[in-house]
Chain A
Amino acid sequence: MTEQVFWFFAAVAVASAVLMVFMRNPIASAFWLIGTMLSLAAIYFILQAQFIGVIQVLVYAGAVMVLFLFVIMLLNLGRESPDLRRLPGLLGAVLLIGVLASQVGPLAGYSRERLALEYTRSTSLANPDVVFDSTLGAAQATRERGVPGDIAKPLFEQYLVPFELTSMLLLSAIVGAVVLAKRRI
């Protein structure tokens, strides 16, 4: 059952992404991207990353994409003229994309067992349960502190410094965005 749901949302995500790339109206592209993101949120839920799924909807789909839409509407961009790229450039781009696909494609063949194999660099079968930590997966941790609590522990203990640094980052981003977008400084 889980798998079918997963594949459904995966298909939606991919379809939305393709449509986003080929839409000529930027607003339409933005909407299809939102579609992709929502599908991805669903996938996150299936993958037992509920907190991230919620954050995805709230921050990405809710804030970032809204910002995009604001800017598109502010610039009042209409439909684009048709031509994509000239043929030689097009062929070159397609070629490169093909190469990239061939490089990244093999990722599909991975499983926990194989990963364990590569992780320990051993030649014979390895037991993934032994290789990877017993606190594997979000499922087990959720029983103790609930979903947000799971994330909070490493976030505020191990990764405290990066956390504080991101607040600095956000501050500088705000200042930067305001300065750049001003008409007169």
Chain B
Amino acid sequence: MLLGPSLLVSAILFVIGVAGVLLRRNAIVIYMCVELMLNAVNLSFVALSQVHGLSGQVFVFFVMTVAAAEAAVGLAIILAIFRHHKSVDLRNINLLRG
């Protein structure tokens, strides 16, 4: 029940997250959009766990854990970059330019 609609919502949220990543310039906002994408996927897992069994929810558990760890490390990196460039505007961060 509610499988189709949940998957639809999940898809919409995922697309919005991708749009944010492509369109925004602020590093932190982009990171938040990534979190949004992860959430959309979580919704998808939960919806399908109704059909397939509890493994879906366990997986959500793990996703959240990893997302938390990743958020911590990622934000620390952004902090370090900010100290160097004095801004988190992605347009100016292109040291890897080849």
Which A residues lie at the B interface, using CB under 8 A? 2-3, 6-7, 10, 13-14, 17-18, 20-21, 26, 29-30, 33, 36-37, 40, 43-44, 46-49, 51-52, 55-56, 59-60, 63-64, 67-68, 71-72, 74-75, 77, 80, 84-85, 90, 93, 96-97, 100-101, 104-105, 107-112, 115, 128, 132-133, 135-138, 141, 150-151, 153-155, 158-159, 162, 166, 169-170, 172-174, 176-181, 183
> Bound complex: CA of A6 vs CA of B8, how far in Å?
12
Residues on the A chain within 8 Å of B39, using CB: 36-37, 40, 60
Central interface residue in B16, B62, B70, B80, by most chain A CB within 10 Å: B16
* In the bound complex, CA of A151 to CA of B51 (Å): 16
Q: Which residues of A sit under 8 angstroms from B70, Cβ to Cβ?
A: 173
Q: Which of A29, A104, A136 contacts B29 (CB 8 A)?
A: A29
Given contacts A77-B88, A93-B23, contact A180 B76 (CB under 8 A): yes
- Tally inter-chain residue pairs, CB-CB below 8 A: 226
List the 6 shortest-distance A-B pairs measured between CB atoms, nearest first: A173-B69, A108-B8, A180-B76, A21-B20, A107-B7, A93-B22
Q: How many residues of B contact A (CB 8 A)?
A: 70
A128 proximity list for chain B (CB < 8 A): 51
Q: Which residue of chain A has the shortest Cβ distance to B11 in the bound complex?
A: A104
Shortest distance from the beta carbon of B90 to any chain A beta carbon, whole Å: 11
How many angstroms from the CA of A170 to the CA of B17 in the assembled complex? Answer: 25
Residues of A within 8 A of B44 (CB): 107
Contact of B3 among A56, A112, A141 (CB under 8 A): A112
Cβ–Cβ < 8 Å partners of A162 in chain B? 62
What is the CA–CA distance of A77 and B26 in the complex, to the nearest angstrom? Answer: 10
User: B75 contacts A68, CB within 8 Å?
Assistant: yes
Q: A105-B11, A136-B53 are in contact. List 6 more A-B contacts (CB 8 A).
A: A21-B19, A59-B64, A85-B25, A101-B11, A166-B65, A177-B75
- Please indicate the chain B residues that have their CB under 8 angstroms from the CB of A174 in the complex: 72
